[in-house]
Amino acid sequence: MDAGPRAAYFAAMAGGWIVALFIVAATVVAMEAVAWAVHRYVMHGRGWTWHRSHHEPRQGRFETNDLYALVFAAISLIFFTLLARLWPPFWWVGIGFVVYGLLYTLLHDGLVHGRLGFRASPRRGYLKRLVQAHRLHHAVHGRDGAVSFGFLYAPPVRELRRRLHRIQPAARHPGEKPGPMNIDGAAM
């Protein structure tokens, strides 16, 4: 879009910021559903070759799994550039992708995995549940038998623990014995 149509579009949106915010928020919610499905069926399926690096000790600053972030960034750029030319509200979908990516980076890479130079152990609430759910996801050493595939939403931890214990025998390493887990998902 050149400056003329873009300026006209943003002038028309001046009274429609609620619509723009709705598009961004709806995109973030939709991205969590898409990310859950991609994580469950692609990353823990045919895409395990890239994702395996995320379930193993990291060698260096980056992991092969980071390629997925580049794929999603490329999709976001397509919304900003090509698709927004066809239908200008797609620009706000691109913003929703960016917002989701920032939330993912801060919460997953930063808070949970400490890859941004900070790591916290929340004591209660949403953030504690998110961290616990992701630890339970990583309690399984392999692509099969994992629980909790979302990045911004975490099911109740007790339910995840029940599911993990139900499927855990098939997901353990050969010879590994089952052990109780504390509420944080760590072995006791």
**pLDDT of the chain along its 188 residues, tens only?**
456 666 666 665 555 788 899 999 999 999 999 999 999 999 999 999 999 999 999 889 999 999 999 999 999 999 989 999 999 899 999 999 999 999 999 999 999 999 999 888 899 999 999 999 999 999 988 899 999 999 999 999 999 999 988 876 655 445 544 444 444 444 43
Name the burial class of residue 173, with classes exposed (0-12), middle (13-18) and buried (19+) by CB atoms within 10 angstroms of its CB.
exposed
Q: Give whole-number Cα distances, 51 to 20, 62, 76, 142, 170, in Å.
A: 34, 12, 21, 10, 20
The pTM score is 0.81
